[in-house]
Homo-oligomer: A and B are copies of this chain.
Amino acid sequence: MKTDSPTADTGQACAATRRGRPRSEAAEQAIFTAVEDLMAGGTTMSELTIEGIATAAGVGKATIYRRWPNKEALLVDVVSRLEVPMPEPTGEGARADLIEMVDYMRRRGLAKRSRWVLKAAFGQMHSLPELHNAYRERVVKPRREAGLALIRRAVDEGVLRADLDPDLLGDLLMGPILYRSILWDDSDLEDPDLARAMVDSVLQGLAPR
């Protein structure tokens, strides 16, 4: 996934030379690392304070507020950093690719840091609509589009029915795993065969033949 730097929204790439001391890359890194460490250490969302982050990062509070207007904005960037690229098509056919995609979601939901982010940060989004949109634009949408590309290929290969809306197909395939990732426990994602079972089940249909 391609993500802009946190200052992307200020569009500072002006023709005139930038003046003054440039922002410290090290400080930025320290902030990200501090947040991820705190998260990994079991800190819940409401315990995650800017003051705590600043202290853990060895950074002044102003250095954080210079980059992000509030806690949520910082988290969106943390989230973006943690998202890993989706798997490339395996070349073994569309069904295998669909399973791989679903299994990627399952593994991502299991990964400790990623799961914390997926749950906690995502949860805050409805309080800050513009951040919700930013997250959807930068994280959800690219993935959804990759999924749709995959689905269209599967339709071409005859693995998926052509008479259904691709959006619907996507939700039917991805919804269950994401639902489990967000709402339920990790234990519900541990079965390594889960992705195959899900994909095959919806492919074949839940009704008896």
Contact = CB atoms under 8 A, between A and B. Distances in A.
A174 interface: yes
Q: How large is the interface on A (under 10, 10 to 19, 20 to 34, 35 or more residues)?
A: 35 or more
A171 interface: yes
Given A172-B202, A183-B178, A206-B203, A119 B126 contact: yes
A201 B172 contact: yes
Nearest to A45: B127
A44 interface: yes
A97 to B, nearest CB: 14
Contacts of A142: none
A191 to B, nearest CB: 10
Contacts of A176: 171-172, 175-176, 179
B124 A164 contact: no
Given A120-B126, A205-B204, A171 B161 contact: no
Interface string A82-98: 00000000000000000
